[in-house]
Structure 1
Amino acid sequence: MMPSEQPKEIFLKDYLPLDFKIDSVDLTFELNASETLVTNRMKFVRQSESTLLKLDGEHLELLSVEKDGKELKPSDYQLSAHALVLNCPEESFELVVRTKVDPESNTRLEGLYRSSGNYCTQCEAEGFRNITYYLDRPDCLSYFTTKIIAYPHENKVLLSNGNLVEFGDLEDGRHFATWEDPHKKPCYLFALVAGNLEVVEDHFETKDGRRVDLRLYVQAKNLDKCDHAMASLKKSMKWDEDRFGLIYDLDVYMIVAVDDFNMGAMENKGLNVFNSKFVLAKPETATDVDFEGIESVIAHEYFHNWTGNRVTCRDWFQLTLKEGLTVFRDQEFTADMLSPAVKRIEDVKRLRSVQFPEDAGPMSHPIQPQSYIEMNNFYTMTVYEKGAEVVRLYQTLLGKDGFRKGMVLYFNRFDGQAVTVEDFRNAMADANQRDLSQMHQWYIQSGTPKVTISKHYDSESKTLSLTFDQTVNGKHHHPLLIPVVFNVLSADSSQQGKELLFSVDEADKVRCYPADAGWLFEFSELSETLVLHNIEQDGYLSLFRGFSAPVLVDYECTKDELVALACYDSDSFVRWESIQTLALENLVDNVEVAGNGLPMHLSDAYVKALEANLLDESLDLALKSLAITLPDESYLLETLSNKGLLIDTDSVVAVYDYMKKSIAESFESVLRALYEKMGQPEVYHYGKEAIASRMLKNRCLNYLAKLHEQEELVYRQFSLQSNMTDVFAALDAMKPYNTNQKEASLADFYNQWQTDDLVLDKWFMLQASDQSDKAVEQVKRLVEHPDFHYTNPNRVRSVLGVFGRLNMRGFHHVSGEGYEFLASEVLKLDKINPQVAARIVAPFTQWKLYDMKRQTMMKAQLERLMNSSQLSKDVFEIVSKSLNK
């Protein structure tokens, strides 16, 4: 059973300002693997009538407390497992707290820990309390000075936030470095790194003529994998200056690559700590997806310097203020670096595959959660990705120039402060003299909105009436402001894709007007009707162009309409969306007939759209690849659930196998011709055209691999070892095979890359996602492999995370063995790293979507977890909400 003390739920409504502020913090670290001494000297000022000072602290050994030069006795304060409490009636005072921590045994990877012989910190969200006693909340902004002392043979590099102000040797053989951060910051942005790392150096000339030193710290074996990260950093610095006028504010910008890290990266002021996955790359070891991920995450953390650091969150309920805004900024950056159309579709695919199911599940929450038990559980797709979509709504409504004006006012008002989502919205509104108060509903209402659209054409009056209704989870709600970017295309076969002319009433011009991608209709009521005048025919609706709002769309589109949009719409998103809709309808039909033992089929409309896109020589190669790719499994499951159907995963797996093989058989010659046309590049190049070429080539290969007569094509691509993108694509295409050649290829890959952890993660991931009949046995062998380590989050995610999310046949095996296995692994992990365990348990949250037999087995494993002793807050919150307890 859970311990008698249930985890406490924290509510936004209970927020109170600080009773004390900390003007300055002077930290001294004496590093030792198992006994690091931390001296924390703080200058406090009381700000309220309360004299009770409560400092957060966990997993600490308190050595002493001193106030204004006098050491306190244990009777002078209260000490618990979570806090140090003192009575402090003084208006101002200095407090010195000395603690001892054990970095070596810190497998939680929160606070100060040791990884691969190097010291590292992770303080967001509430990790600083694992280092020292402190007001561990984001609205406590202080000036930090940090002195690090260590033996040089173990730690030649001593790094912290800000600028290096002093360094030298001590008489006892140790050396030291003192760092001073000139900007106030909350403790979650504190960072320390020490160890025997090598550095790659460059510099950047800012717009105002200053030189900023750029440094990437990595292990010596990785020095040849830093060029792309450095180039990405310089591009992001220039882009932020050009797009938003934001200039870096310190003399040095440092990035450290760490193998063991819970997150992707962390934006600590001036000293970013990164998961190695998002720093290290060269063509032999990293795929195009890896290269793009590095460019995006490097930019994301750099952009945080302003949207997160210079202006930070008042409390953790405002997390999307920094994360949603910064994700939007990194999306815009990547779009400008590569392809805006492709980037938009990729972002929507991720939103629908992960965030929409999150919105519909037991962990559903608004982008501004109103309560939490464990804050780490709210670093979610909802807060990040849906939060970014909500930020994008401002830009859609205000235009790029209006959005930039809002950003300028936001920084002018709030630089150096901890603020709220309301502050951001008010800056946007005031800068553009608009009432945007209705936007707040996007922040506080959970669930994915559904927009239902119907139309009526009157040939006599030449009017097209469009009626819009909005609901969330099938219910009416407070109306959202939803920007609908649309156009009307000719239904005449001789004018395919032609945009029809029309006008709107004078009174409607304030809510419906021309925009960059079409007409913009500001849909702001639960139900509204818009009348288009002077329109010559009943055309085809091109709706939510560019995915202008994160909604589900319910519009009865005919097959002919979908085919026309999929083949001729000038908007890349709507074109892709239309062929995806045809594919989705075909998938749903086949799931229903497969469940009844009836023959499956490829629909004529889908075949027609596929053929048109495959043969369209004018279509961007990446868009062609996306067009012929089936919707993700998770999006199909969400669609089936929305139709009220319980999911039989055996039927879903069978349908995907059938659809892929049928597409390969129907278009074998076209796919083979496209594959050969893409060719084999002699030298790897990271650029828009080269990425698109490889993307389409490998999509064709994946289809052709379903045909026995094309298997040698797959093995040939693997044997060429041209670059990791092509090698990994070939191995992925081999997954359904049961041949000695496949096993030999996997063995060759392992033997070549067994000393490169990031590449080895790919080897584990390939096998954990292999949907063979023996998938559960396979994943059990993987966790017993000598190279599998529970203490490394990347390795855990590459096996257990992939198995639960991507191996439908294995995880949902009718025996229930996959459920039992993953639940057992969660229990192991929870004692090692609760944050990672909470991510691994997530697939169980969707248990109510499946057929009754699977529901019963999944629920049993959730109850088993719930009844285990000493469950962490991280896992408890997810399991209890999944069981509605």
Structure 2
Amino acid sequence: MREGTAPLIHREDYCAPVYWIRTVDLCFDLEPAKTLVTSKMQIERNSAVAHGPLRLHGEELTLLRVLINGESVSFRQEGDELVIDNAPDADFALEIRNTCAPEKNTALSGLYTSGGGFFTQCEAEGFRRITYFLDRPDVMAVYSVLLRADKARYPVLLSNGNLLEQGALDNGRHFAKWHDPFPKPSYLFALVAGDLVAREQRITTRSGKDHLLQVYVRRGDLEKTEHAMNSLIASIAWDEARFKLPLDLERFMIVGVSDFNMGAMENKGLNIFNTSALLVSPATATDADFNRIEAIVAHEYFHNWTGNRVTCRDWFQLSLKEGLTVFRDQEFSMDMAAAPSARAVKRIEDVRNLRAMQFPEDSGAMAHAVRPDSYVEINNFYTPTIYEKGAEVVRMYQTLVGREGFEKGMTLYFERHDGQAVTCDDFAAAINDANPGSELSTRLDAFKRWYSQAGTPRVQARGRFDASARTWTLDLAQANPPTPGQDDKLSQVIPVRMGLLSHAGAALPLQLQGEDAAAGTERVLVLDKAEQSFTFVGLDEAPVASLLRQFSAPVVLDDGLTDAELLVLLKFDTDAFNRWEASQRLALNRLLPVVRSGEELTLDTAYIDGMRAVLRSDQLDSAFKALALTLPSEGYIAEQLDVIDPQRIHAAVGTMQLQLARALRDDWQAAFEANQVAGGYSADPVSSGKRALANLALQMLVLDAVQTGNDIWPGRAYQRFKDAGNMTERMGALTALVFARAGLAQPALERFHALFKHEPLVIDKWFALQGRAPELDGQVFARVKQLMQHPDFSLKNPNRARSLIFSLCLFNPAAFHRTDAAGYVFWADRVLELDAINPQVAGRLARVMDRWTKLAEPYRSAAHEALARVAAKPDLSSDVREVIDRALNVEHAA
């Protein structure tokens, strides 16, 4: 484990390596306790940089032999580096033999064992835990791999690329030889050895080439891989159709493993997946799981080009591959949704996720730019800023140059950089150079501030109507609040997609002053200064502004709209995102005043009538209704406040939910009955939307019934739970019972566990549901502590740890932020405990305290005490040390 004394690494200090590794021949003799690794590398000195020693990275390895051109060589070990001071100037062969201990590798980085098999995770710096190497993304080599293992225990032997040969060896062992013809950095290396079975499919792509697709899982899980295979086939077809990017290997393999720190990994031709991101069946997975797996399979496949064929020069450029590939998987998912309404729902869900995870990061201790300037531990920068905000930056490129222009830019990007390790600037240049004269071309340098400036820009919009001139002027202003290390920000380039509506709901033609005629009812304005004004002509009344349509930029918008104007947007706007946004704003307008004041909330008739109209509308899809009628999360409400009292927020949301449940009782019942899905299960958008609205309606009906002492709806929910033909309906009914604290909740939980005790991913849902249940008098917190002792709970499995501990600490503010500080004590205990097992998971849990300085008392002081307690441990990993130190330094900066 790396300790917390790791140095600060700066982007500006990047230097190309003194040596290149051009080819690698690896041989593995696989044994759980001690695996022998022999590496033979062809080394070439980089003539473009000053001569220096050859420094190879290595961690937790036992070195056995070092040879250059077959002869022993002098070397020294300096910390975690193997240093050869007098390496030849001419090309040479370097051979290293070492051992590693996979079964002791609880960090799950490098080569480790899980469920009786061998697996690897090399991103970001795991390859150095396998053998000594130039473990950096700009060193790209062609790999050949020989795997040797016991055939009975490990009948399947996989690595990157194409299978060249396999056969038997003495003593019951066997071998497999693999070769990847494409140069790749070490982080994309992978091997798998185990007793696995495969779903196989042969396809012929548009280019006329035949390929073998394989999804490997442990025995018993094969029936849950059909959706993943279908998603892979769809991804291959989409990427070839949309971006002309073909599958480039004879085969493409996916492997599932239950012990995995991430969702999945895009190793060239051999993707390794967390089983939670791979395995689904209607009986064990929800609609959300089906959608998530489709997106993750697509994401990892799309990395084959955006990440593998063209990779990052250094880890500061991480969003070059991750932000771009998230954008690509979002586009894919919208295209798979097909119908405009389903596409809009997908966009809303993506923005909800951005606001729930990335916006808080922007306002916390770990705020960083899409391309950071420094880091201590790169594992800490696999963040929503790199991924989700990075995707929004790519989306803005497309908005500014158009869909066709963006595709031209992508084509130029691959023409220029295929087989290279490059930077975000290279991507920007390709998009810009392919689109001369675009809205981007005159603003490129300013646009790239999205890569260098942290924080979420605030945009203020106000309208001025001149009745006599029949003009309406939109005044826009932007500002970006200070973030750690960045106080003064320059103006960003912000595309504002917009339209105007009459108060009767008609879309108005848009004609800017100076234009000859109106040009449609929607357009993109570009805000690139601190303040700008845009005047529209030919208007007979003050319009209702619909701004930031489709969430055209990752900003916080203050448009000053009244409730009456928001209701116009909710009812009439042609942009589904802004209709949904109006529903959220209307809810916030009622929640925030009572959270700030501590007064009781009483819903007004106008709001209730507006929500009733949504529920009764025959023009809106069920999926959209479910989103519009779901209140803002407690975390998102906290983001709107300067001082956060989690208990006040929880109380206000609970009161509003209950009043909404009661006021719309008859409508909820009608919606529940109207949205039953008959026949066999399908995860299509229409069926999924109906189940989502039916589940929300049932939750509201059970909540109201428990408060009024009516047993009918709890009884119906329990019956639905028992009779459900799919996991979406079963979990919906169970959630309704648990969240309403119905008397039947505990019997249902016990029955659920008995039904699925042999399904680990389903039991994760069981733990997570109890960790996220609405708090009441400390009961949920006590239950979580009790569940830590459950026979099925294990801290060593990342999925299980996240299901319970993260559900409490990250997603249940009222249960976690306790006035007696017990939640913070629990958090500190778990961070320290996890840090000794798996620093990456511990580092992510440590992030819970990023925004502790905004807490009201007594939470703030108690949180500081917990942070100081963790910080006092001398041997923290660098993963945790960086997060804790930055959290504490925020207080000093303030």
Match of residue 786, structure 1, among 783, 791, 800 = 791
CA contact (8 A) 1:365 1:447 kept: yes
Write the letter of the residue equivalent to 1:96.
E
SS in 2 for 1:137: coil
Match of 1:49 in 2: 50
Moved more, 802-811 or 829-838: 802-811
RMSD (CA atoms): 1.5
CA contact (8 A) 1:65 1:97 kept: yes
Matched, 1:372 2:375: yes
CA contact (8 A) 2:677 2:690 kept: no
Cα 1:259–1:618 change in 2 (3 A) is same
Per-residue Cα deviation, 1:348-378 (whole angstroms, up to 9, x for no partner): 1111111100000010001001100000000
Structure 1 stretches of at least 4 aligned residues deviating more than 4 Å after TM superposition: 512-515, 737-740
Cα 1:850–1:201 change in 2 (3 A) is same
Cα 1:637–1:514 change in 2 (3 A) is farther
Moved more, 427-436 or 130-139: 427-436
Match of 2:478 in 1: 470
Match of 1:354 in 2: 357
Cα distance in 2, alignment partners of residues 50 and 427 from structure 1 = 33
Match of 1:690 in 2: 687
Q: What does residue range 289-688 of structure 1 map to in structure 2 within 5 Å?
A: 289-338=288-337, 339-433=342-436, 434-435=441-442, 436-473=444-481, 477-491=489-503, 496-506=504-514, 518-593=522-597, 595=598, 598-641=599-642, 646-688=643-685
Cα distance in 2, alignment partners of residues 865 and 759 from structure 1 = 33
Per-residue Cα deviation, 1:257-293 (whole angstroms, up to 9, x for no partner): 0000000000000000000011100000000010001
Match of 2:838 in 1: 833
Q: What is the percentage of aligned positions where both structures have the same residue?
A: 43
Cα distance in 2, alignment partners of residues 881 and 26 from structure 1 = 41
SS in 1 for 2:396: helix
Cα distance in 2, alignment partners of residues 622 and 514 from structure 1 = 32
Cα distance in 1, alignment partners of residues 606 and 554 from structure 2 = 27
Matched, 1:706 2:709: no
Cα 1:541–1:51 change in 2 (3 A) is same
Write the letter of the residue equivalent to 1:242.
A
CA contact (8 A) 1:590 1:601 kept: no
CA contact (8 A) 2:737 2:744 kept: no
Per-residue Cα deviation, 1:391-433 (whole angstroms, up to 9, x for no partner): 0001111111000000000011100000000000000000011
TM-score (ref. length: structure 2): 0.95
Gap regions ≥5 residues in structure 2: none
Q: What does residue range 201-350 of structure 1 map to in structure 2 within 5 Å?
A: 201-338=200-337, 339-350=342-353
Write the letter of the residue equivalent to 1:473.
P
Cα distance in 1, alignment partners of residues 738 and 593 from structure 2 = 26
Match of 1:70 in 2: 71
Q: What does residue range 758-797 of structure 1 map to in structure 2 within 5 Å?
A: 758-770=761-773, 771-772=775-776, 773-797=778-802
SS in 1 for 2:549: coil
Cα distance in 2, alignment partners of residues 872 and 793 from structure 1 = 17
Cα distance in 2, alignment partners of residues 200 and 501 from structure 1 = 54
Write the letter of the residue equivalent to 2:730.
V
Cα distance in 2, alignment partners of residues 828 and 501 from structure 1 = 61
Moved more, 837-846 or 362-371: 837-846
Cα distance in 2, alignment partners of residues 832 and 817 from structure 1 = 23
CA contact (8 A) 1:204 1:213 kept: yes
Q: Compute the displacement of 1:91 (Å).
A: 2.0
Cα distance in 2, alignment partners of residues 442 and 322 from structure 1 = 16
Match of 1:720 in 2: 723
CA contact (8 A) 2:510 2:518 kept: no
Write the letter of the residue equivalent to 1:345.
I
Per-residue Cα deviation, 1:552-591 (whole angstroms, up to 9, x for no partner): 0112111110111111111101111011101011111221
Write the letter of the residue equivalent to 1:323.
E
Match of residue 852, structure 2, among 841, 847, 862 = 847
CA contact (8 A) 1:624 1:696 kept: yes
Match of 1:754 in 2: 757
SS in 2 for 1:883: helix
Cα distance in 1, alignment partners of residues 250 and 675 from structure 2 = 45
Q: Compute the displacement of 1:790 (Å).
A: 1.4
Cα distance in 1, alignment partners of residues 58 and 488 from structure 2 = 44
TM-score (ref. length: structure 1): 0.96
Match of 2:116 in 1: 117
Q: Compute the displacement of 1:737 (Å).
A: 4.7
Cα 1:141–1:513 change in 2 (3 A) is farther
Per-residue Cα deviation, 1:145-180 (whole angstroms, up to 9, x for no partner): 000000101100000000001111123431100100
Match of residue 867, structure 2, among 857, 862, 868 = 862
CA contact (8 A) 2:677 2:687 kept: no
Cα distance in 1, alignment partners of residues 277 and 302 from structure 2 = 15
Write the letter of the residue equivalent to 2:490.
H
Moved more, 871-880 or 87-96: 87-96
CA contact (8 A) 1:145 1:181 kept: yes
Cα distance in 2, alignment partners of residues 197 and 872 from structure 1 = 34
Q: Compute the displacement of 1:505 (Å).
A: 3.4
Q: Compute the displacement of 1:844 (Å).
A: 1.4
CA contact (8 A) 2:714 2:742 kept: no
Cα 1:81–1:840 change in 2 (3 A) is same
Gap regions ≥5 residues in structure 1: none
Q: Compute the displacement of 1:501 (Å).
A: 2.3
Cα distance in 1, alignment partners of residues 677 and 612 from structure 2 = 25
Cα distance in 2, alignment partners of residues 177 and 500 from structure 1 = 67
CA contact (8 A) 1:352 1:635 kept: yes
SS in 2 for 1:42: strand
CA contact (8 A) 2:29 2:149 kept: yes
Q: How many residues align?
A: 865
Q: Compute the displacement of 1:90 (Å).
A: 2.4
Per-residue Cα deviation, 1:612-652 (whole angstroms, up to 9, x for no partner): 211211111111111111011111000123xxxx2222211
Q: Compute the displacement of 1:514 (Å).
A: 5.2
Cα distance in 1, alignment partners of residues 831 and 510 from structure 2 = 58
Cα distance in 2, alignment partners of residues 859 and 203 from structure 1 = 57
SS in 2 for 1:99: strand
Cα distance in 2, alignment partners of residues 208 and 160 from structure 1 = 25
Match of residue 84, structure 1, among 74, 82, 85 = 82
Cα 1:666–1:739 change in 2 (3 A) is closer
Cα distance in 2, alignment partners of residues 739 and 239 from structure 1 = 46
SS in 2 for 1:104: helix
Write the letter of the residue equivalent to 2:447.
M
Q: What does residue range 15-30 of structure 1 map to in structure 2 within 5 Å?
A: 15-30=14-29
Cα 1:13–1:476 change in 2 (3 A) is closer
Q: Compute the displacement of 1:106 (Å).
A: 0.3
Match of 1:33 in 2: 32
SS in 2 for 1:801: helix
